[in-house]
């Protein structure tokens, strides 16, 4: 397998059930389904983090966020350019590395952003390239491309369209995060990324091993699909949001997101910052636009696979996944920040090894920490010692006894279909502890924390968290925030927690 070309295709914030092979009813994803038909598909894949940067750094290192210390979109460690990572390992073994689309390996300087202008980004681009990326076509998230001059923003500026897109996305508060893309569909961020990837593959040297990471920033919000793709979604076939009237109790973390002020990104767009104030018409439009973005991405995945087949024959492998999911209106929330629901933690994951022609499904639980060693094995490279992941190609992969997902101020631990969540709200003022029986309550409506019949499994999960705290400082690395006024960590976890 050494020298085999590798395609790593990732989406951002894609709910598992937006794929027709996983039950989408309103639209088709024929190209993702085509890939699944000749891949090993993991039915219970979880992201190691429910937010972008920690998840992406896990792909690049094979480490959980508390070990990489890349724990947040806002603060914590960037992907280090002083330590080996996915790109450097591949380069050391003769690969040309390229990334087309979103990186997000550095915390975004959100306090510097403005809705009415676009700022310089050269220091970010330079840093990304220093990680071992030979060729970079940077479209570093839909919002970032309006806040900062990445390659996509520069392209739109040259065409005279950047201010038009920025005005629609960031200046019109009435849009509430949902609007038709105001430019030609070919200029949409995901179309731009797909086109750059196709052009690169078509011009690549087939005799030299290529690692091509195609990193779509959709269907992550803002939900800004071109109307021609939204029209391909038959929203009348939607099975609908999963929620209950009056489901929110003050003892549950997302009480704040529903009633305001928010806990997920959708709260910031809602009237009075409370997602309970969205109308059903809003939710219908939101879902139709979101599904339409998936249709657009699927079309470009087909173009990318076709280009790879034309240029490389069958001498390439593919890994497809998403960094995390999206609430999608379920529990009357959209977004992912602060969410530990299955909607956010479970992700699509498929691996096609070389000229594999048949589908194989895997039912045991795996994690995104396993992606890094899998990519290295596809390249014929031995994974370094000390990482957290196991190659998904390893016939001895046991399936994980515990599923761990984490980022700043929150952690979820799952065993035997029971999920423990610890989630802080507002700088550590309140710690919400929740427990869900995913077998009997798959949509996570009933918090069974401290109920007698779950005493044994709750104790086991909390003991495991404390073991991780003692051996790896998991909790103390997750439950803190940098205080800008003091410039040092503020620790949320006390010794008696």
Q: pLDDT tens-digit profile of 120-136?
A: 999 999 999 999 999 99
CATH 3.30.1120 positions along the chain are: 406-491
**pLDDT value at 218 more than 90:** yes
**pLDDT value at 483 more than 80:** no
What pLDDT is attached to residue 482?
A: 38
**Interval 397-414: pLDDT, tens:** 889 999 999 998 899 999
pLDDT averaged over the chain?
92
CA distance 294 to 298: 6
Q: Both tokens of residue 206?
A: 């087939």
DSSP string, 266-327: HHHHSGGG-GGG--HHHHHHHHHHHHHHHHHHHHHHHHHHHHHHHHHTT-EEEEEEES----
CATH 3.40.720.10 positions along the chain are: 5-385
**Interval 6-30: pLDDT, tens:** 999 999 999 999 999 999 999 999 9
Alpha helices, DSSP H only, in 422-473?
455-472
Lowest mean pLDDT segment, chosen from 90-104, 191-205, 253-267: 253-267
**pLDDT value at 259 more than 80:** yes
Q: Both tokens of residue 33?
A: 């389904």
CA distance 257 to 243: 14
CATH of the domain spanning 406-491: 3.30.1120
Alpha helices, DSSP H only, in 175-221?
189-202
This prediction's pTM: 0.95
What pLDDT is attached to residue 263?
A: 86
The CATH architecture that domain 5-385 belongs to is 3-Layer(aba) Sandwich (3.40)
Residue burial 440-476, b: 16+ Cβ < 10 Å; e: rest: eeebbeebbeeeeebeebbeebeebbeebbeeeebbe
CA distance 412 to 465: 9
Q: Are 214 and 137 in contact (CB under 8 A)?
A: no
Instruction: Report the run of H or E that residue 178 belongs to, with start and end.
Output: none
Tell me whether residue 53 is exposed, middle or buried, using C-beta atoms within 10 angstroms of its C-beta: 0 to 12, 13 to 18, 19 or more. Answer: buried
**pLDDT value at 262 more than 90:** no
142: left (phi over 0), alpha (psi -120 to 50) or beta: alpha
Query: Residue 434: beta bridge partners?
Result: 421
Q: Taken in order 243, 361, 367, 308, is the CA torsion positive or negative?
A: negative
153: left (phi over 0), alpha (psi -120 to 50) or beta: alpha
Confidence category of residue 480, pLDDT binned at 50, 70, 90: low
CB atoms within 10 A of CB 177: 20
Q: Both tokens of residue 241?
A: 């949001």
The share of the chain scoring above pLDDT 90, in percent, equals 85
CA distance 76 to 88: 22
Read off the pLDDT of each residue in 88-94 and give the average, rounded to a whole number: 97
Read off the pLDDT of each residue in 38-58 and give the average, rounded to a whole number: 97
Lowest mean pLDDT segment, chosen from 76-85, 233-242, 275-284, 341-350: 76-85
**pLDDT value at 429 more than 90:** no
What pLDDT is attached to residue 42?
A: 97
């Amino acid at each position: 397998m050494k020298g085999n070309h590798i395609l790593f295709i990732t989406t951002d914030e894609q709910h598992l059930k937006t794929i027709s092979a996983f039950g989408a009813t309103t639209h088709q994803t024929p190209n993702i389904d085509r890939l699944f038909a000749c891949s090993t598909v993991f039915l219970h894949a979880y992201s190691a983090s429910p937010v972008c940067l920690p998840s992406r750094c896990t792909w690049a290192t094979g480490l959980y966020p508390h070990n990489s210390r890349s724990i947040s979109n806002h603060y914590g460690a960037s992907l280090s350019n002083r330590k080996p990572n996915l790109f450097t390992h591949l380069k050391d073994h003769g690969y040309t590395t390229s990334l087309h689309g979103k990186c997000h390996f550095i915390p975004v300087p959100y306090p510097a952003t403005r809705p009415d202008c676009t700022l310089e980004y050269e220091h970010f681009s330079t840093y990304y390239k220093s990680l071992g990326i030979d060729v970079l076509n940077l479209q570093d998230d839909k919002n970032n491309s309006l806040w900062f001059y990445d390659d996509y923003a520069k392209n739109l500026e040259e065409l005279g369209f950047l201010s038009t897109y920025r005005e629609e996305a960031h200046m019109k508060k009435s849009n509430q995060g949902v609007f038709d893309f105001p430019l030609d569909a070919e200029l949409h961020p995901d179309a731009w990324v797909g086109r750059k990837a196709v052009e690169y593959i078509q011009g690549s040297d087939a005799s030299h091993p290529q690692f091509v990471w195609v990193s779509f920033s959709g269907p992550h919000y803002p939900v800004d699909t071109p109307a021609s793709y939204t029209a391909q979604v038959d929203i009348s076939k939607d099975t609908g949001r999963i929620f209950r009237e009056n489901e929110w109790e003050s003892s549950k973390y997302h009480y704040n997101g529903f009633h305001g002020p928010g806990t997920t990104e959708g709260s910031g767009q809602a009237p009075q910052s409370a997602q309970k104030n969205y109308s059903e018409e809003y939710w219908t439009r939101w879902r139709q636009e979101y599904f339409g973005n998936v249709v657009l991405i699927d079309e470009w995945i087909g173009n990318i696979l076709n280009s790879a087949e034309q240029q490389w024959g069958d001498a390439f492998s593919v890994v497809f996944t998403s960094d995390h999911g999206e609430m999608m209106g379920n529990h009357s929330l959209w977004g992912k920040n602060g969410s530990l629901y299955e909607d956010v933690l479970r992700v699509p994951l498929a691996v096609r090894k070389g000229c594999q022609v048949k589908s194989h499904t895997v039912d045991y639980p795996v994690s995104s920490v396993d992606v890094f060693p899998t990519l290295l094995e596809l390249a014929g490279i031995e994974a370094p010692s000390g990482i957290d992941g196991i190659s998904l190609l390893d016939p001895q992969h046991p399936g994980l006894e515990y599923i761990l997902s984490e980022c700043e101020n929150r952690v979820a631990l799952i065993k035997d279909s029971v999920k423990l969540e610890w989630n802080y709200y507002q700088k550590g003022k309140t710690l919400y502890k929740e427990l869900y029986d995913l077998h009997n309550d798959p949509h996570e409506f009933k918090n069974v924390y401290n109920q007698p019949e779950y005493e044994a499994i709750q104790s086991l999960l909390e003991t495991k968290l404390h073991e991780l705290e003692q051996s790896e400082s998991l909790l103390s690395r997750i439950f803190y925030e940098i205080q800008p006024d003091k410039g040092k960590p503020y620790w949320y976890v006390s010794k008696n927690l």
